[in-house]
Amino acid sequence: MGRPPCCDNGGGAGVKKGPWTPEEDIVLVSYIQQHGPGNWRSVPENTGLMRCSKSCRLRWTNYLRPGIKRGNFTPHEEGIIIHLQALLGNKWAAIASYLPQRTDNDIKNYWNTHLKKKVKRLQQQTHPADRSSFQQQTTTVDNAAAETTTSSNYYKPGSNSIDPDMQPAMAYPNTTCNAAPATMAVSTLFRSWMAKAPSPAAADYKATVAMHEFQDDRETSAAVSVISGDRSASSEMVVGRGEAGTGTTFSLLENWLLDDMAPGQAAMDGIMEFSPGCYAEPIMF
DNA sequence: AATCGCTGCAACCGCACTTAT
DNA sequence: GATAAGTGCGGTTGCAGCGAT
């Protein structure tokens, strides 16, 4: 539809751009503390900030919002990003919903500045010469992975098995096959994932706690639903997750990711292969 | 010490989607 | 149903900081 009128069309007169000052941050934070986030248009009007509403929202969501974790990404976080980027493509918001402490902008930047290069490097190490056969190979594996997820009803628009409440989340395009970069590294990870079939026994207390925390975040729940797909299918595959009355079930992918979160597990191998020598302590939610 | 090039991150831009009228 | 307003999201840019020369 129509473009927003104000600062977005070339910048209204007197609208400040560039880095935020600590004073501006204080004004914004104190306003949000009083009124809560949202209704961003009213923020500059009521605070006197010479910023556009969009800039205020961005500053809040990407920097000032409580609970944001800054600084280095752990190998586990890297792994999660790599996994999800392979599955979802550049759906940074969806990926960020799995890492509630990280912003989509942060993840996007980290992917563009670190992980993409890492994937590329590994790609070249694995198949320095034969790029075409490499492409074929990875496409095959990626398709297999996509098929696997599809077969567990990863994304089936119109499928009756998907809770209608979750339909909005399904607005994410089906990028499972198309948007995923065909990289050897990702394929390797997929192989390791498929080979190591989800193991209910691997259910880990910390992972469960982590998911309970995740559930506090509605966006996260929505994103979880994207990947969960068929809840009944996932509950067949997974026993023991989301107990304690939450009723939440988890998909293959979630278990895979959560298994990776469990310290000292072999599942880390795929990630460590991917980023040799950078292993640190697994993240503890 | 000066400069150059590179890297990483914060912020901007513009399109798309959702909601309100 | 059409339009406008509000918001979300992904791609891109600008710049500060840092290391190499």
Asked whether the beta carbons of A28 and A40 are under 8 A apart, the reply is no
One domain, residues A102 and A164: yes
One domain, residues A152 and A95: yes
Q: Which nucleotides of B are covered by protein (CB under 7 A)?
A: 7-19
Give the end of a domain, one of A66, A88, A114.
A66
Calpha distance A127→A133 (Å, rounded): 9
Q: A31 pLDDT exceeds 80?
A: yes
Evaluate whether residue A5 is within a structural domain.
Answer: yes
Show which residues sit with Cβ under 7 A of nucleic chain B: A 1, 3-4, 7-11, 16-20, 51, 54-55, 58-59, 62-63, 70, 105-106, 108-110, 113-114, 168, 171
Calpha distance A261→A23 (Å, rounded): 39
Q: Which residue is nearest to nucleotide B8 (CA to C1')?
A: A113
Does this model's pTM top 0.75? My answer is no
Q: Is A156 exposed, middle or buried (0-12, 13-18, 19+ CB in 10 A)?
A: middle
Separation of A5 CA and B21 C1' (Å)? 17
Distances in Å between the Cα of A110 and the Cα atoms of A39, A80, A96, A103, A116 are: 29, 12, 12, 11, 9
User: Does A63 or A224 have the greater pLDDT score?
Assistant: A63
Q: Dig out the tokens for A19 from the structure.
A: 């880095």
The values of phi and psi at residue A74, to 5°, are -80, 160
User: Does A194 or A42 have the greater pLDDT score?
Assistant: A42
One domain, residues A84 and A51: no
Separation of A283 CA and B20 C1' (Å)? 43
CATH assignment of the domain containing A39: 1.10.10.60
Evaluate whether residue A284 is within a structural domain.
Answer: no
pLDDT at A256: 52
In degrees, rounded to 5, the angle at the alpha carbon of residue A189 between the alpha carbons of residues A187 and A195 is 100
Asked whether residue A196's C-beta has any atom of DNA/RNA strand C within 7 A, the reply is no
Q: Which nucleotides of C are covered by protein (CB under 7 A)?
A: 3-12
Asked whether residue A176's C-beta has any atom of DNA/RNA strand C within 7 A, the reply is no
- At A262, the pLDDT band (50, 70, 90 cuts) reads very low
Question: How many residues comprise chain A?
Answer: 285
One domain, residues A28 and A112: no
The domain of A20 spans 1-66
Give the end of a domain, one of A66, A101, A118.
A66
User: Which alpha helices (H) appear in A64-126, and where do they start and end?
Assistant: 75-88, 92-96, 104-110, 116-126
One domain, residues A29 and A130: no
Separation of A189 CA and C4 C1' (Å)? 47
Q: A108 pLDDT exceeds 60?
A: yes
